[in-house]
């Protein structure tokens, strides 16, 4: 009977594909809200002439090092000091490999490269529809748009971690920002990760003198390592994308499977 068929259809439990338009719609609305938030924040930060000020600081650090050989200020090495934003350099020497190229590269690439890489890896992870609002919420987190507009290095740390989810070895590059260095562990079970770590260690050798200074710079400062953790939602984006991924061939997933079961997935 046609009536019985309709009744059975009404009783059929909702499946994921039934809710897909709803999940996608919620995610889209959240991204529209993010766009609006970016526009409002851009106006406020632009009035302060502060768009991209973090990038300007990193360029100044790189230029000073090239011109004078000075990477850390004398007062950072001589005794206790209060850290001032965009004035005191707390990055390890290997950060120069990121900062120096942007003395000649177009500034726009400081944003385009990491943001496109993050977006690509999230897409590559093929998150299920129900997870899209969750991922959108991580980006909508209030501090995230500000980090992007100021040009903070969190973008690059997340991009390197995302690349680690995709290829394994690039995660070692997160080491340029020790406060979120735990993200460098992404893909540690991948052979390429260890090769990348070895290459990074060799690349650090020209900065031996600066590496000797680096612990002094940190110990003399009043910096709080937890400051970067205040943007944890954005920092966790590639990890969450991996955790909900419908793929089974991510390097980190293969490593986790071997760790738990002793076999390949």
Please say whether the beta carbons of 132 and 241 come within 8 A.
no
Residue 242, pLDDT > 80, answer yes
Q: Is the pLDDT confidence value at 212 over 70?
A: yes
Mark residue 177 as left, alpha or beta (left: phi above 0; alpha: psi -120 to 50; beta: remaining).
Answer: beta
- How far is 111 from 55, CA to CA, in rounded Å? 10
pLDDT band at 108 (very low <50, low <70, confident <90, very high): very high
Residue in 128, 132, 161 with CA at minimum distance from that of residue 231 = 161
Could you give the CA distance from residue 224 to residue 183 in angstroms, rounded to a whole number?
18
Task: Please indicate, yes or no, whether the overall pTM of this predicted structure exceeds 0.75.
Answer: yes
Q: DSSP code of 106? A: -
For a pLDDT cut of 70, what percent of the chain falls above it? 85
Mean pLDDT of 219-240: 81
If pLDDT is split at 50, 70 and 90, which confidence band does 246 have?
Answer: confident
Q: If DSSP codes are grouped into helix, strand and coil, which group holds residue 59? A: helix
Q: How far apart are the first and last CA of the chain?
A: 47
Report pLDDT digits (tens) over 70-96. Answer: 999 999 999 899 888 888 999 999 999
- Mean pLDDT for 143-171 is 91
Whether pLDDT at 1 is above 80: no
For residue 37, pLDDT beyond 60: yes
**Cα radius of gyration rounded to whole Å, the chain:** 22
Contact 93, 204 (CB under 8 A): yes
Instruction: Decide if 54 contacts 194 (C-beta within 8 A).
Output: no
Across the chain, mean pLDDT equals 85
> Which residues lie below 8 Å from residue 242, measured CB to CB, with a gap of 6+?
125, 165, 250, 252, 253
Question: For position 8, what pLDDT does the model report?
Answer: 53
Length, in residues, of the chain:
265
Would you state the pLDDT for residue 172? 94
249 pLDDT tier (thresholds 50, 70, 90): low
Confidence of residue 230 (pLDDT cuts 50, 70, 90): confident
Please compute the mean of the pLDDT values over residues 235-255 and round it to a whole number: 75
**Average pLDDT of the residues in 253-257:** 50
Rounded mean pLDDT, 10-36: 76
Q: What is the pLDDT of residue 263?
A: 43
């Amino acid at each position: 009977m046609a009536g019985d068929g309709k009744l059975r259809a009404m009783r059929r439990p909702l499946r994921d594909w039934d809710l897909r338009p709803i999940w996608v719609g919620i995610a889209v609305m959240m991204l529209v809200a993010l766009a609006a938030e970016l526009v409002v924040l851009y106006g406020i930060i632009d009035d302060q002439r502060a768009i991209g000020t973090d990038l300007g600081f990193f360029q100044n650090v790189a230029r000073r090092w090239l011109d004078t050989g000075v990477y850390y200020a004398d007062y950072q090495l001589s005794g206790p000091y209060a850290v001032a934003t965009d004035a005191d350099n707390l990055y390890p020497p290997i950060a120069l490999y990121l900062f120096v190229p942007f003395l000649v590269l177009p500034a726009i690439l400081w944003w385009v490269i990491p943001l496109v890489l993050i977006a690509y890896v999230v897409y590559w992870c093929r998150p299920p529809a129900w997870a899209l609002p969750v991922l959108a919420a991580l980006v909508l987190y209030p501090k995230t748009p500000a980090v992007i507009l100021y040009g903070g290095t969190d973008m690059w740390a997340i991009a390197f971690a995302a690349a680690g989810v995709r290829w394994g070895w690039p995660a070692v590059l997160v080491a340029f920002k020790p406060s979120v260095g735990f993200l460098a562990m992404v893909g540690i079970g991948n052979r390429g990760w260890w090769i990348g770590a070895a290459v990074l260690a060799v690349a650090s050798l020209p900065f031996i003198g600066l590496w000797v200074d680096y612990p002094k710079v940190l110990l003399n400062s009043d910096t709080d390592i937890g400051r970067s953790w205040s943007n944890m939602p954005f920092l966790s984006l590639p990890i969450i994308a991996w955790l909900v991924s419908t793929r089974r061939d991510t390097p980190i997933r293969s490593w986790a499977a071997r760790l738990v079961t002793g076999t390949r997935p």
